[in-house]
Amino acid sequence: MGKYLSAMMGVVLLVLLAGTMNVSSVRAKPEAQLSPLHVQMSALASGDEIVYTINLTNSGSTSINHIYIAGLVPEGTTFVATIQTPTKSWFRGKEGNSAIWLSEVVPANGAQGPFKYKVKVTGASVSSAHAWVRWLLPTDGVAQGEGVRAIPLPAPLAGLPLENFRNDWPFDPPLPDHLWMDIGVNRLLFLHFDKPVAEATKLLYIGEGIRGRFYAEDQPEGGTTGFTHFHRFKAPTVEAGHGGAPGDEGYWLRHVAVTDFEMMGMKVRPGIDFNFMPTVAPVGLSGQWVNEKPFDPPLPDHLWLELGGGRIMLLHYDKPVTDPTKMLLYVGEGVRGRFCASDQPEGGRTGYTHFHRFKASTVEAGHGGAPGDEGYWLRHIAVAEFEMMGMKVKPGIDFNFMPTTPPKCG
């Protein structure tokens, strides 16, 4: 009952907060930010559409609750739709000249967002936009972000779905001057700007990333096609994310310059930038059959061989590999990916029906996993006739080897 009353009180406070707001009070020229809640807005234009993104950051030691968020629909545009609303938040609608959300909380030393909305350019010019927030607890407060103008993409990129790009994924901490879009099958697209996204004035690079590890065997085509820079998923700072320890997980990135500019004292011309912060990768386990990698805990009846490029070969025995009487049941191949339907090679039609995640509490718990877990999609090819778990297996691809149905991932 206490939880129910608490939830109801939260709803009442949000409603009261919304009732006190007047969207016409969102000024065209924002005032200075008020501590501890900081408001950041970025804008990206493609053709006659602009996507605005709002993120809230709480630098204080106390959570901020019951928040009203307004994103300006600037002069020269019309509102099209909201694109993204984070958890514990609700889109209230367009009121006056603003897109309005209500949100429960921005945690202490935490963040909330992104809030995204799209507008269509209808006038000869577009004024700047900004975001404005007000909250009720722990005390009544307000904050406004700086005004922003949309960064136009080059004409050949006008068809990109801007609403699918984000800054808060896949790296921790985020790269402030990048936007990323997951395109599935271990790949992403990115946009690299001259400054942090909220302050950017020019697009420098477009590019592609391929998920892998910081091993020479995983570097696509050995870097000959431009995948010369590796950034690991998690690091203490952005700078520390370049390269990493042998085997660190992340993305190999290829940067394609879209204009002439200077970076770190070097002139860059349009095209693949092979000199973009190259990271020389160490040699991994190529040429060695091992049991202890890539899974934790190891699968006792398997041996694995790194092939590079996010692929492995497997040997699956009837007994632990240390048993001299073991017999080979399967050979197979693995493709690195996530436990997501979009990452399952060919949707499982070519035999990649079983997923095993990199780390689990037990071997059995490694089959499948939570949406987005990292691991390998495995294809098992029987080399003899035998029985397994009460089923007769014949030589060839075993489509019935412990199939793990993947979820759809956002």
Rounded to whole angstroms, the Cα distance separating 91 from 409 reads 22
CA dihedral 407, 335, 308, 174 (to 10 degrees): 0
pLDDT of residue 1: 41
Q: Which of 101-110, 159-168, 385-394 has the lowest mean pLDDT?
A: 159-168
Decide if 381 contacts 397 (C-beta within 8 A).
yes
pTM of the model: 0.59
Average of per-residue pLDDT across 58-64 = 93
pLDDT of residue 22: 44
> How sure is the predictor about 364, in pLDDT bands with cuts at 50, 70 and 90?
very high
Rounded to whole angstroms, the Cα distance separating 273 from 254 reads 8
Is residue 114 reached through a cis peptide bond, with omega within 30 degrees of 0 on the bond before it?
A: yes
Rounded to whole angstroms, the Cα distance separating 69 from 102 reads 6
Whether the predicted pLDDT of 130 surpasses 90:
yes
pLDDT of residue 152: 81
Q: Which of 21-35, 126-140, 252-266 has the lowest mean pLDDT?
A: 21-35
Q: Which CATH class is domain 2-152?
A: mainly beta
pLDDT of residue 2: 44
Sequence spans of domains, the chain: 2-152, 165-272, 289-397
Q: Which of 62-66, 262-266, 368-372 has the lowest mean pLDDT?
A: 262-266
pLDDT of residue 44: 87
**Hey, what are 7's tokens?**
């939830």
Decide if 291 contacts 302 (C-beta within 8 A).
yes
Residues 153-196 pLDDT 10s? 777 676 778 778 888 889 999 999 999 999 888 899 999 999 88
